[in-house]
Chain A
């Protein structure tokens, strides 16, 4: 067991405080069908302990697993114009957005935060697949631009966790314009000589892949993640043939030269820490610097109140680990 798993354990309560508590506390692994206790799954960053299948993880949980002590400061993103096209299919876009916000408790499909990774100040942005399929519209564009501005202001590297089902069609051409807009964000970071690292997660498709997600200094992918421009179904319809096993999966992209490494979620924090330090010519990570597995609350860096929003990091509270509490349906 690594440090993350040990440390994340006491934080189970907060993991489930933001979103609806599942009715059934047992989750069936999509891949191996094993019944998994939700707490065990949360401890393992939503990776099946039995087969290693990587399930979706919400941005806040990612940040908790990424930053030292699970502590991070959320960065406010300028809110875009609501429903710029007055779009309506069988449902109004404004209603879809409202439902997505209610379901996820987030404003849009990308969250931005900063914190430390093995003591190195880092800005991170993570996409939320549960928010309208992680689709990229003005909200995501604004988030990445804000993340880049923050990285530049703090002279910190930027790590982005991509996950997107495609474009936010309900924003029409404005969703397409996020391709240049997010590319500008990458340029801003690069111009300052700061690393821009992309972690591609399942699935990363369409305009997100064809913009910032393929412009990283280093591309890391989660195992078996679908990463593509056009989805496999569209391709099968176009070429009218069956695609090979594993087509467009992380390992396939690794073989085809599009990504640098496939790294399981549980190891990403350490790998990113090392990578960023090498790129920034920082001395190696010193394990002794790490907070102890059961850190004291004061081990957490002070959140900056000016930028903090609703993500006041909670110090691990011992009562959260009571199994019977977690087991309440």
Chain B
């Protein structure tokens, strides 16, 4: 069962009709509906292609948050072998909003870190909807330090609405934890590549995405604040999120132009949620390519180039 977004209403009707027709045909084998069903399918796939070819920034936010979109664990399952999850910040707790561990990518051992949103009500609650607490960032720092010691590349997958704004999180130093994670990304003497697979929410995202190479899925978003948050502050009206989404320039396409990210990974027609397998393998190819481009760089070269990249950001604007 497809999960439709509000702007996919006509598409839902069309696909629903085609589905109904097929159901009828199953009950009555005498009925010849193949032509009609084909016609409907064709119209639906055209509509899907057109819709996704010109998503507005707000629609992209909706797609990026789509519940059926593949999440970090789906990527881990398909892209890595010998997945060895590692837990805990060695200080306070294990944060289930952040997964991390060792794995083999193609032929090389790597460290994987990513936000995990969960896939059903139970796991979403357990994962705190991908909103990390300080322990998540501290675990990430610990794993990056390990990667640094053993010279293992780090792959981060970013998918979070933002760091968790909770009482305990603040008391235990959410700000400091994020700052240390960003700092560790910069200190790392091994390659680090990052893919924003869904939502890149503010400081909670940058703490993992301060990388040598950053890619975004075609309909992913990456922003300093959620459109709703921005609308309620600047427009004094959270309903203005469409305007805010457009003004924030949070799409992969705009971020590429701003040189904040290095590449956009094309999604299957209708978004990653329509064909998770294909989306995941495209991300895998991008990671392979990005890591390959960093091969042979020394620790010092990596760090210096990473630094330079961020220092130079902001020289290009958008019209």
Task: Mark each residue of chain A from 159 to 202: 1 if its CB lies under 8 Å from any CB of chain B, else 0.
Answer: 00000000101111111110111011011000000000000000
A90 partner residues in chain B, CB cutoff 8 A: 234-235
Residue on B with the closest CB to A232? B170
In the bound complex, CA of A257 to CA of B319 (Å): 45
State the Cβ distance, B132 to closest chain A Cβ, in Å. 12
Let me know if B314 is at the binding interface, CB within 8 A.
Answer: yes
Let me know if B206 is at the binding interface, CB within 8 A.
Answer: yes
In the bound complex, CA of A187 to CA of B222 (Å): 25
B319 partner residues in chain A, CB cutoff 8 A: 86
Check A177 against B187 for contact (C-beta < 8 Å): no
Let me know if A213 is at the binding interface, CB within 8 A.
Answer: yes
Number of interface residues of A (CB under 8 A): 53
Check A186 against B317 for contact (C-beta < 8 Å): no
Task: Mark each residue of chain A from 220 to 240: 1 if its CB lies under 8 Å from any CB of chain B, else 0.
Answer: 000000001110001100110
State the Cβ distance, B255 to closest chain A Cβ, in Å. 6
Check B206 against A180 for contact (C-beta < 8 Å): yes
Task: Mark each residue of chain B from 293 to 319: 1 if its CB lies under 8 Å from any CB of chain A, else 0.
Answer: 000000000000001001101111111
Check B249 against A172 for contact (C-beta < 8 Å): yes
In the bound complex, CA of A211 to CA of B204 (Å): 11
Let me know if A209 is at the binding interface, CB within 8 A.
Answer: yes
A209 partner residues in chain B, CB cutoff 8 A: 175, 179
A243 partner residues in chain B, CB cutoff 8 A: 167
Check A167 against B175 for contact (C-beta < 8 Å): no
A172 partner residues in chain B, CB cutoff 8 A: 223-224, 247-250
Let me know if A281 is at the binding interface, CB within 8 A.
Answer: no
Q: Which of B174, B310, B316 contacts A184 (CB 8 A)?
A: B310
User: Which B173-207 residues sit within 8 Å CB-CB of chain A?
Assistant: 173-176, 178-180, 182-183, 185-187, 202-203, 205-207
User: Which A69-118 residues sit within 8 Å CB-CB of chain B?
Assistant: 80-81, 83-90
Overall SS of chain B's interface? helix
A187 partner residues in chain B, CB cutoff 8 A: 183, 186-187, 307
State the Cβ distance, B160 to closest chain A Cβ, in Å. 13
A49 partner residues in chain B, CB cutoff 8 A: none
Residues of B within 8 A of A (CB): 163-167, 169-176, 178-180, 182-183, 185-187, 202-203, 205-207, 210, 222-225, 230, 233-235, 243-244, 247-250, 255, 258, 260, 307, 310-311, 313-319
B314 partner residues in chain A, CB cutoff 8 A: 80-81, 84, 138, 141, 174, 177
Check A173 against B260 for contact (C-beta < 8 Å): yes
If the complex has contacts A85-B247, A85-B317, are A207 and B203 also in contact, measured as CB distance less than 8 A? yes
In the bound complex, CA of A89 to CA of B225 (Å): 14
Residues of A within 8 A of B (CB): 80-81, 83-90, 138, 141, 145, 167, 169-177, 179-181, 183-184, 186-187, 206-207, 209-215, 228-230, 234-235, 238-239, 241, 243, 247-248, 256-258
Residue on A with the closest CB to B231? A89
State the Cβ distance, A138 to closest chain B Cβ, in Å. 5
In the bound complex, CA of A248 to CA of B249 (Å): 32
In the bound complex, CA of A80 to CA of B311 (Å): 12
Check A169 against B165 for contact (C-beta < 8 Å): no
A183 partner residues in chain B, CB cutoff 8 A: 179, 182-183, 186, 210
Check A229 against B175 for contact (C-beta < 8 Å): yes
In the bound complex, CA of A86 to CA of B163 (Å): 28
Check A210 against B307 for contact (C-beta < 8 Å): no
Check A230 against B176 for contact (C-beta < 8 Å): no
A167 partner residues in chain B, CB cutoff 8 A: 202, 224-225
Check B175 against A213 for contact (C-beta < 8 Å): yes
If the complex has contacts A81-B315, A214-B179, are A175 and B307 also in contact, measured as CB distance less than 8 A? no
Check A181 against B182 for contact (C-beta < 8 Å): no
Q: Besides the contacts A89-B244, A229-B178, A247-B170, what 12 more A-B pairs have beta carbons closer than 8 Å?
A: A85-B317, A86-B317, A170-B234, A173-B260, A206-B203, A212-B179, A213-B175, A215-B183, A229-B175, A235-B170, A238-B166, A239-B167
